[in-house]
């Protein structure tokens, strides 16, 4: 190995190996300086990455937001130094050598794992293994859908992924691979870092899959190459690019920590600094005579040339894009520009008036479907779907067309029973630009989406989770399907708006808020069972926008305040009426979104909550309610898992009734 490296170094011209070695030394030196990190993977995949970035990847380092760039996803995010080294070498804005010297340090753009919201040019946040692969499926799907809408002149790019053994061991990889194969995503190319090592040691300790057969079985084109043979890697990528009807996976056999004299090929290089002695030995083996963080000018120039390789394509694209109108341009980025936002508001206002006039009792999942009927014509970027619960979730409308590869004319994805894959793909769709993805499943299965929901939140992406069957109110399916802790657990996650509308009008308002909040994902927790219309007075204002509001205020001051969300607001209304007969003055507060309420100023919150004793009603667990109830409040809800029975019986059995609220109010106010 060293002989070959030395021989190439002797050539006057900058060789492939010199270029790859630049990545290797930057990775090992940065990890050493940080005293933490993962040098092995970048050192092992340096050859593959060099081939990709110098010969294939369509990008212009100076313009990381170019909509028609190839997407590069490092799913094996622990190898983040690979991306940072590539970005520095090719000349991405802001990625100077100081950033590499401050790898993993506060206020620098080189965090431990790649974060798209920290580092300009990083496509996605990757760290939880397999998520990047799942995102890439969404990105590659977005490309095909936009290609259909815009044509090759505007949208024509590939999505490349580097995934490791860990990514492929994760369950999500199955869903992602299966979905990509089904969707025939021919522009998706996965470079598998087949180094046969993970943290615990050789992968033979824990996995015996034939990965090539596995991908092949899901309809992929597959190949195996020596990941240190640049020509073989190049040929494999070339071949993969020529396969248009299937995604491709290239298993690149590599040596983890390539170049390290004693640790190469072992788990010791995976996640720890190599140490001064090993690094000096690696320098020797690689024939690298330069100081840490010093890249010789000639070599840096060659890399910078790679960074501008795409300039002509970039210029040509800009020329072609001049033909696009404002709507066309918006359709490649955030599809909700000011004019679409205005149309959304108009459509929602009209629909709310209809709902109020009509007065129908509807499950909020049905209201949501009606909202979608109204929204689809005004938001061309809305991309619907469900994880095999289309009819139950109400996610499909008459205006939807199924995405049916190789025809990408559609706007509805049958994600199949792949909740996790759906959620990760939706992140990719949202990251790519051009789409506002929404996808349905039962609220209880938000657990199956949770790692991806967390990344929607962390990355600040507008992904809308349509989660129906939101409580024991789903009835006979029983406790496995009845979420009780889910609202609380989702509310615990930062930067997620958990909406639980009480009726059709609130449902429309919550959809509007979900769409008009670009940096926060939304969970729409919707009922299976019919709910009466509570907002009978038409109001143009979006009352849900403040998260909670006074739905009914008694005359002459409050004796008690009833707080409720979703299907339990009607119980609060009923109880308030019964209490009024007894002379107990109860206010009803609807709280469709705690997060938005929390964001209001104290005066507003205090005004809504009032100073009277409080009762909260929600068919979920109490966890979290204490912040609104105060020390003396009473919670009426679930204290255990549910049961299988018709919904009205369950509400009775678990004591979530207007009568129970009335009794609690009498007790609390001392008025019996
Ligand atoms: C979901 C998840 N589980 C666990 C980890 C911790 N982790 C980081 S890297 C890694 C091993 C990955 O092995 P491999 O993909 O072969 O990477 P390599 O050793 O080749 O760098 C693990 C378990 C993680 N990042 N994400």
Does the structure show a pLDDT above 50 at 9? no
Does the structure show a pLDDT above 80 at 291? yes
Q: Is the CB of 41 under 6 A from ligand 1?
A: yes
Interatomic CA distance for residues 71 and 64, integer angstroms: 10
DSSP H or E segment with residue 4: helix 2-9
Half-sphere exposure of 69 (CA within 13 A, CB side): 24
| Residues linked to residue 617 through DSSP beta bridges, in sequence order | 564, 636
Residue whose CA is at the smallest distance from ligand 1 atom 9: 78
User: Cβ neighbours of residue 15 under 8 Å, at least 6 residues apart?
Assistant: 8, 9
User: What atom of ligand 1 comes closest to residue 267's alpha carbon?
Assistant: 19
Q: Is the CB of 78 under 6 A from ligand 1?
A: yes
Distance from Cα 168 to the centre of ligand 1, integer Å? 10
Give the tens place of pLDDT for each residue, 135-146.
999 999 999 999
The first and second tokens of residue 389, run together, are 């619960």
Banded model confidence at residue 20, pLDDT cuts 50, 70, 90: very high
Q: Is the CB of 256 under 6 A from ligand 1?
A: yes
Q: Is the CB of 424 under 6 A from ligand 1?
A: no
The first and second tokens of residue 142, run together, are 């977005």
Q: Is the CB of 40 under 6 A from ligand 1?
A: yes
Distance from Cα 198 to the centre of ligand 1, integer Å? 6
Residue whose CA is at the smallest distance from ligand 1 atom 11: 198
Residue whose CA is at the smallest distance from ligand 1 atom 13: 198
Does the structure show a pLDDT above 80 at 623? yes
User: Cβ neighbours of residue 210 under 8 Å, at least 6 residues apart?
Assistant: none
Residue whose CA is at the smallest distance from ligand 1 atom 18: 198
Burial 23-34 (b: 16+ CB within 10 A, else e): bbbbbbbbbbbb
Q: What average pLDDT does range 67-90 have in this prediction? A: 98
Residues acting as catalytic residues:
419
Output the pLDDT for position 7.
43
Banded model confidence at residue 10, pLDDT cuts 50, 70, 90: very low
Distance from Cα 216 to the centre of ligand 1, integer Å? 24
Q: Is the CB of 165 under 6 A from ligand 1?
A: yes
- Look at strands 549-552 and 586-590 and give their pairing: antiparallel
Contact call for residues 237 and 243 (beta carbons, < 8 A): no
Distance from Cα 76 to the centre of ligand 1, integer Å? 7
Output the pLDDT for position 538.
86
Ligand 1 pocket test: pick from 198, 207, 424 the residue with the most ligand atoms within 8 Å of its Cβ: 198
Banded model confidence at residue 3, pLDDT cuts 50, 70, 90: very low
Q: How far is CA 394 from CA 33, 370, 398, in A?
A: 54, 9, 11
Interatomic CA distance for residues 201 and 193, integer angstroms: 15
Give the tens place of pLDDT for each residue, 306-331.
999 999 999 999 999 999 999 999 99
Give the tens place of pLDDT for each residue, 509-518.
999 999 999 9
Interatomic CA distance for residues 260 and 29, integer angstroms: 12
Ligand 1 pocket test: pick from 199, 268, 420 the residue with the most ligand atoms within 8 Å of its Cβ: 199
Residue with tokens 């050859």: 47
Interatomic CA distance for residues 315 and 319, integer angstroms: 6
Query: For helices 40-51 and 230-242, what crossing angle results, to 10°?
Result: 60
Q: What average pLDDT does range 653-663 have in this prediction? A: 98
Q: What average pLDDT does range 51-59 have in this prediction? A: 98
Residue with tokens 């305040």: 561
Distance from Cα 103 to the centre of ligand 1, integer Å? 19
Question: What DSSP string runs through 325-369?
Answer: -HHHHHTTS-S--HHHHHHHHHHHHHHHHHHHHH---B-HHHHHH
**Helices and strands, number each (H, E), in the chain:** 27, 18
User: What atom of ligand 1 comes closest to residue 168's alpha carbon?
Assistant: 15
Distance from Cα 203 to the centre of ligand 1, integer Å? 11
Output the pLDDT for position 631.
87
CA-CA-CA-CA dihedral for 125, 195, 302, 32, to nearest 10: 70
Does the structure show a pLDDT above 50 at 2? no
Half-sphere exposure of 220 (CA within 13 A, CB side): 29
The answer, yes or no, to whether the previous bond of 450 is cis (omega within 30 of 0) is no
Distance from Cα 36 to the centre of ligand 1, integer Å? 15
Interatomic CA distance for residues 135 and 130, integer angstroms: 9
Q: What average pLDDT does range 331-360 have in this prediction? A: 96
User: What atom of ligand 1 comes closest to residue 77's alpha carbon?
Assistant: 25
Mean pLDDT taken over the chain? 97
- Look at strands 464-468 and 436-442 and give their pairing: parallel
Q: What average pLDDT does range 222-240 have in this prediction? A: 98
Banded model confidence at residue 151, pLDDT cuts 50, 70, 90: very high
Q: Is the CB of 70 under 6 A from ligand 1?
A: no
Interatomic CA distance for residues 638 and 447, integer angstroms: 19
The first and second tokens of residue 596, run together, are 């938005």
The share of the chain scoring above pLDDT 70, in percent, equals 98
Q: How far is CA 558 from CA 290, 347, 553, 634, 658, in A?
A: 77, 36, 8, 16, 18
Q: What average pLDDT does range 21-40 have in this prediction? A: 98
Q: How far is CA 532 from CA 223, 285, 309, in A?
A: 58, 75, 61
Q: Is the CB of 389 under 6 A from ligand 1?
A: no
Give the tens place of pLDDT for each residue, 173-219.
999 999 999 999 999 999 999 999 999 999 999 999 999 999 999 99
User: What atom of ligand 1 comes closest to residue 193's alpha carbon?
Assistant: 20
User: What atom of ligand 1 comes closest to residue 166's alpha carbon?
Assistant: 15
Q: Is the CB of 490 under 6 A from ligand 1?
A: no
Exposed/middle/buried for residue 51 (C-beta within 10 Å: 0-12, 13-18, 19+): buried
Q: Is the CB of 633 under 6 A from ligand 1?
A: no
Q: Is the CB of 455 under 6 A from ligand 1?
A: no
Q: Is the CB of 60 under 6 A from ligand 1?
A: no
Half-sphere exposure of 617 (CA within 13 A, CB side): 32
Give the tens place of pLDDT for each residue, 99-150.
999 999 999 999 999 999 999 999 999 999 999 999 999 999 999 999 999 9
Cβ atoms within 10 A of the Cβ of 382, count?
23
Question: What DSSP string runs through 59-103?
Answer: --TT-TT-TTSPEEEESSGGGHHHHHHHHHHHT-TT--HHHHHTT
Distance from Cα 608 to the centre of ligand 1, integer Å? 48
Exposed/middle/buried for residue 537 (C-beta within 10 Å: 0-12, 13-18, 19+): exposed
Q: Say if pTM beats, i.e. exceeds, 0.85.
A: yes
Terminal-to-terminal C-alpha distance of the chain: 88
Q: How far is CA 403 from CA 400, 408, 419, in A?
A: 9, 5, 18
Contact call for residues 397 and 406 (beta carbons, < 8 A): no
Banded model confidence at residue 12, pLDDT cuts 50, 70, 90: low
Contact call for residues 181 and 198 (beta carbons, < 8 A): no
The first and second tokens of residue 59, run together, are 């990008």
Q: What average pLDDT does range 64-87 have in this prediction? A: 98
Q: What average pLDDT does range 263-277 have in this prediction? A: 98
Ligand 1 pocket test: pick from 48, 78, 125 the residue with the most ligand atoms within 8 Å of its Cβ: 78
Distance from Cα 98 to the centre of ligand 1, integer Å? 27
Q: Is the CB of 227 under 6 A from ligand 1?
A: no
Interatomic CA distance for residues 342 and 526, integer angstroms: 25
Residue with tokens 């490649």: 332
Contact call for residues 201 and 260 (beta carbons, < 8 A): no
Q: Is the CB of 198 under 6 A from ligand 1?
A: yes
Give the tens place of pLDDT for each residue, 585-619.
999 999 999 999 999 999 999 999 999 999 999 99
User: What atom of ligand 1 comes closest to residue 79's alpha carbon?
Assistant: 21
Q: Is the CB of 193 under 6 A from ligand 1?
A: yes
Interatomic CA distance for residues 20 and 50, integer angstroms: 6
Q: How far is CA 537 from CA 87, 197, 540, 552, in A?
A: 56, 64, 10, 12
Q: Is the CB of 197 under 6 A from ligand 1?
A: yes
Does the structure show a pLDDT above 70 at 1? no
Rounded to an integer, what is the distance from CA 256 to the centroid of its chain?
29
Distance from Cα 165 to the centre of ligand 1, integer Å? 8
| Residues linked to residue 549 through DSSP beta bridges, in sequence order | 590
Q: How far is CA 665 from CA 141, 567, 608, 630, 655, in A?
A: 54, 19, 18, 15, 14
The answer, yes or no, to whether the previous bond of 313 is cis (omega within 30 of 0) is no
Output the pLDDT for position 672.
64
User: What atom of ligand 1 comes closest to residue 170's alpha carbon?
Assistant: 1
Distance from Cα 47 to the centre of ligand 1, integer Å? 21
Give the tens place of pLDDT for each residue, 425-477.
999 999 999 999 999 999 999 999 999 999 999 999 999 999 999 999 999 99
Banded model confidence at residue 13, pLDDT cuts 50, 70, 90: confident
């Amino acid at each position: 190995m060293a002989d070959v490296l030395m021989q190439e170094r002797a050539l006057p011209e900058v060789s492939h190996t010199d270029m790859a070695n630049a990545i290797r030394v930057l990775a090992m030196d940065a990890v050493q300086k940080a005293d933490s990190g993962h040098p092995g993977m970048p050192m092992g995949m340096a050859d593959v990455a060099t081939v990709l970035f110098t010969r294939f990847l369509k990008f212009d380092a100076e313009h990381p937001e170019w909509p028609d760039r190839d997407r590069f996803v490092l799913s094996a995010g622990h190898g983040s130094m690979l991306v940072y080294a590539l970005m520095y070498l090719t000349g991405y804005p802001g990625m100077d050598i100081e950033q590499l010297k401050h790898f993993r340090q506060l206020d620098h753009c080189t965090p431990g794992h790649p974060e798209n919201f920290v580092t300009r040019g990083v496509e996605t946040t990757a760290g939880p293994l397999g998520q990047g692969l799942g995102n890439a499926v969404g990105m590659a799907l977005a490309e095909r859908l936009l290609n259909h809408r815009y044509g090759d002149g505007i949208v024509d790019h590939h999505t490349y992924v580097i995934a490791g053994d860990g990514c492929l061991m994760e369950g999500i990889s199955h869903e992602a691979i299966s979905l990509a194969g089904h969707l025939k995503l021919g522009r998706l190319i996965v470079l598998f870092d087949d180094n046969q090592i993970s943290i615990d040691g050789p992968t033979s300790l824990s996995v015996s899959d034939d990965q090539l057969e596995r991908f092949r079985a899901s309809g992929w084109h597959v190949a195996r190459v020596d990941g240190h043979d640049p020509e073989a890697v190049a040929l494999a990528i070339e071949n993969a690019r020529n396969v248009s009807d299937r995604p491709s996976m290239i298993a690149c056999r590599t040596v983890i920590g390539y170049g390290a004299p004693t640790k190469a090929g072992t788990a010791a290089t995976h996640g720890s600094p190599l140490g001064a002695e090993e690094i000096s030995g690696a320098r020797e083996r690689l024939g690298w005579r330069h100081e840490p963080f010093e890249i010789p000018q000639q070599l840096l120039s060659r890399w910078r040339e790679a960074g501008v390789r795409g300039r002509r394509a970039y210029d040509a694209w800009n020329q072609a894009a001049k033909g696009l109108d404002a709507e066309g341009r918006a359709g490649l980025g955030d599809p909700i520009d000011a004019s679409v936002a205005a149309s959304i508001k108009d459509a929602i206002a009209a629909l709310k008036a209809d709902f109020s006039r009509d007065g129908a009792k509807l499950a909020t999942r049905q209201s949501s479907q009606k909202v979608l009927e109204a929204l689809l014509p005004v938001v061309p970027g809305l991309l619907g779907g469900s994880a095999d619960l289309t009819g139950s979730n109400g996610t499909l409308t008459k205006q939807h067309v199924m995405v049916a590869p190789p025809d990408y004319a559609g706007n509805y994805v049958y994600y199949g029973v792949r909740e996790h894959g759906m959620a990760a793909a939706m992140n990719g769709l949202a990251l790519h630009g051009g789409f506002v993805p929404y996808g349905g499943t039962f609220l209880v299965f938000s657990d199956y989406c949770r790692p991806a929901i967390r990344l929607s939140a962390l990355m600040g992406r507008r992904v809308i989770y349509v989660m129906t069957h939101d409580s024991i109110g789903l009835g006979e399916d029983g406790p496995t399907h009845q979420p009780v802790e889910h609202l609380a657990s989702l509310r615990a996650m930062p930067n997620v708006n958990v909406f639980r509308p009480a009726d059709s009008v609130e449902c429309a308002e919550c959809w509007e808020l979900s769409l008009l909040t670009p940096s926060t994902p939304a969970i729409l927790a919707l009922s299976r069972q019919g709910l009466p219309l509570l907002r009978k007075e038409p109001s143009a204002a979006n009352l849900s926008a403040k998260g909670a509001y006074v739905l009914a205020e008694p005359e002459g001051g409050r004796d008690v305040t009833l707080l409720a969300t979703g299907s339990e607001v009607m119980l609060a209304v009923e109880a308030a009426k019964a209490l009024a007969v007894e002379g107990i003055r109860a206010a009803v507060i609807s709280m469709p979104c705690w997060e938005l309420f929390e964001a209001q100023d104290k005066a507003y919150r205090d005004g809504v909550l009032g100073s009277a004793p409080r009762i909260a009603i929600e068919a979920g667990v109490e966890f979290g309610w204490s912040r609104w109830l105060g020390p003396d409040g009473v919670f009426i809800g679930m204290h255990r898992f549910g049961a299988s029975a018709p919904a009205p019986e369950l509400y009775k059995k678990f004591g979530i009734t207007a009568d129970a609220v009335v009794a609690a109010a009498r007790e609390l106010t001392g008025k019996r």
